[in-house]
């Protein structure tokens, strides 16, 4: 079992819709969670971090964490074609290294 699992996609949504990206993790010692966005050939860019159970909102993005279910999600409201990218879920334990999922490719169609 992979430590952080994501559906590879592609997830295709129409412009203006809500995109929902999901991630599960196996290490209960994970303390914090991150969503990175990566455009093809570019560096991963942090868009959200979440440390405690519940929702965290930042603009069009909402991250959700449920430690009991070991589940992290990212919602993107009013999806735009420019949101088309690969979204990487990562966990961090006390050792500070990030453990990544394989990424979900999101396609937002005009």
The footprint of other proteins (CB under 8 A) covers 2, 4, 36, 41-46, 49, 88, 95-103
The nearest distance, CB 88 to other proteins, in angstroms, is 7
Helix, strand, coil share of the chain (percent; to 5): 5, 55, 45
The nearest distance, CB 23 to other proteins, in angstroms, is 11
Of 17 and 100, nearer to other proteins (C-beta) is 100
Question: Structure tokens of 101?
Answer: 């999922």
The nearest distance, CB 17 to other proteins, in angstroms, is 27
Distance CA 57, CA 103 (A): 21
């Amino acid at each position: 079992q992979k430590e952080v699992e994501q559906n590879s996609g592609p997830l295709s949504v129409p412009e203006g819709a809500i995109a929902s990206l999901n991630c599960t993790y196996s290490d209960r010692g994970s303390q914090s969670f991150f969503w990175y966005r990566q455009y093809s050939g570019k560096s991963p860019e942090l868009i959200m971090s979440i440390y405690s159970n519940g929702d965290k909102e930042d603009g069009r993005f909402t991250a959700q964490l449920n430690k009991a279910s070991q589940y992290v999600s990212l919602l993107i409201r009013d999806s735009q074609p420019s949101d088309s990218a690969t979204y990487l879920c990562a966990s961090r334990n006390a050792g500070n290294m990030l453990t990544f999922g394989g990424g979900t490719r999101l396609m937002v169609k005009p």
